[in-house]
Structure formats: structure tokens, C-alpha cells
Chains A and B, each alone.
Chain A
Amino acid sequence: AQSVTQPDIHITVSEGASLELRCNYSYGATPYLFWYVQSPGQGLQLLLKYFSGDTLVQGIKGFEAEFKRSQSSFNLRKPSVHWSDAAEYFCAVGINYGQNFVFGPGTRLSVLP
């Protein structure tokens, strides 16, 4: 069965430090990959997506992610975290030609001043 794992439930970093959030998926074909961010009380906002081509994708708010097929991973990175980045981050996989979407359990990011 398809699945998405985000091994880190909660990560705390200092403002200005670099960030990497991990995402691994299990899916037989090449998936469509997404990262979303959810601020408290809000819906999900798309940060970036990967469908094909260059495996390093750039998103909004200074985030980037790298697709590594050999590791079935799609890790999210940011070189310097801002306090406003504190939120919950979800990795998602689009399967069955986009009919279904499977989300990971989320990683909550806290940022220390």
C-alpha cells in the first residue's frame, strides 16, 4: 500500500539556522510529490511540488526540496529559518494519476528566537 512517512514529529531550530525536514514515500511508480505548510487555524498552503525533470525544486518562502528516487525521499530544506516558519509541514504524494493523495503525519516546526 502507498504510504508517506515523516520520521520527525517535532523539530526545534534556532532562528537563522538551517532546516531539513524528512519525507519518505512508498509507491510503485513515480509519484507526484508535494510539500504543504499549515499555520495554526489555517488550511494547507502549497510550498512546492515535483512532477518530473530537475530533481531539485524551488518553492515559495525560500524553501527547496530534492527528490531522490534511490532513497524514495523528498526532503524539504531551508538555509536560514525565520520565526514565521513555525508551523506544521506535510509531505504528500499524488497517486493514480492524481485521483488520490496520501499525506504524511506531519512535522511540527518550532523556531527559537
Chain B
Amino acid sequence: EAQVTQNPRYLITVTGKKLTVTCSQNMNHEYMSWYRQDPGLGLRQIYYSMNVEVTDKGDVPEGYKVSRKEKRNFPLILESPSPNQTSLYFCASSKSTGTNSNQPQHFGDGTRLSIL
């Protein structure tokens, strides 16, 4: 089954304690992206990756890091989480971009982070 898998689904942690949210897709997609969803703001793009070892900032990258060492994985890293990063996070992937950029994204089920 084609899917985007995020782990953990829920996490409560404290300010300053490094955490990683994993994202894995089994569709051999080149493009992957991270979003945060906050009430009244919709989804805002944090980082995206066009392919292995190619990442770039989205609209709200501050306080986050990503890496893309393998095509299937795109972890989101919070080096020193703060309460304003409490949010619902979604990972997404799509087949390709550029000249074939008309591809919809497939979303994971979300990770709810609470930073105390």
C-alpha cells in the first residue's frame, strides 16, 4: 500500500530537549516536504526536498532542520524545541517537480507535538 508514514504520532516533551520526527514514503517519490498546521493558519511549509541531498527552506524554517540522505526518508529535527513549536506536523511526498510539477502530494497522518 502506498503511504507516507510519520513517527511518532503524538509526543509531549519539554523545552530544549532535542527531538526528531521521522517520515518515510514507499512510493519512490523525489519530492518531500514538511508542514505545520495551526488553527486559522492552514498548513505552512517548513522545509522541502527536491531529491536526495537537496533541501530548501519553506515559509517557516526557523527552529527546524531536515536531512535527506535517502530517497525514502525525510526526518524533521528540532534541535532545541520551544513552546511556539507546539503544533500538528505533516510530512508529504510527490512524484516529481520541475517540468513534471503537476503532481499532487500524498500526506502522512500527522504528528502532534506538545512542547512544555
Contact = CB atoms under 8 A, between A and B. Distances in A.
5 contacts: A43-B4, A49-B104, A98-B101, A98-B102, A100-B45
A32 B102 contact: yes
Contacts, number: 71
Contacts of B4: 43
Interface string A75-113: 000000000000000101010011111111110000000
A46 B104 contact: yes
A40 B109 CA distance: 10
B110 A43 contact: yes
A27 interface: no
B40 A98 contact: no
Interface stretch (B14-22, B68-76, B91-99): B91-99
B90 A43 contact: yes
A97 B96 CA distance: 10
Interface of B: 4, 31, 33, 35, 40-45, 48, 50, 56, 58-59, 90, 92, 94, 96-99, 101-110
Interface of A: 4, 6, 9, 32, 34, 36, 41-46, 49, 51, 90, 92, 94, 97-106
Contacts of B40: 9, 105
Find the residue from B56, B99, B101 having the highest chain A CB count within 10 A: B101
A44 B99 contact: no
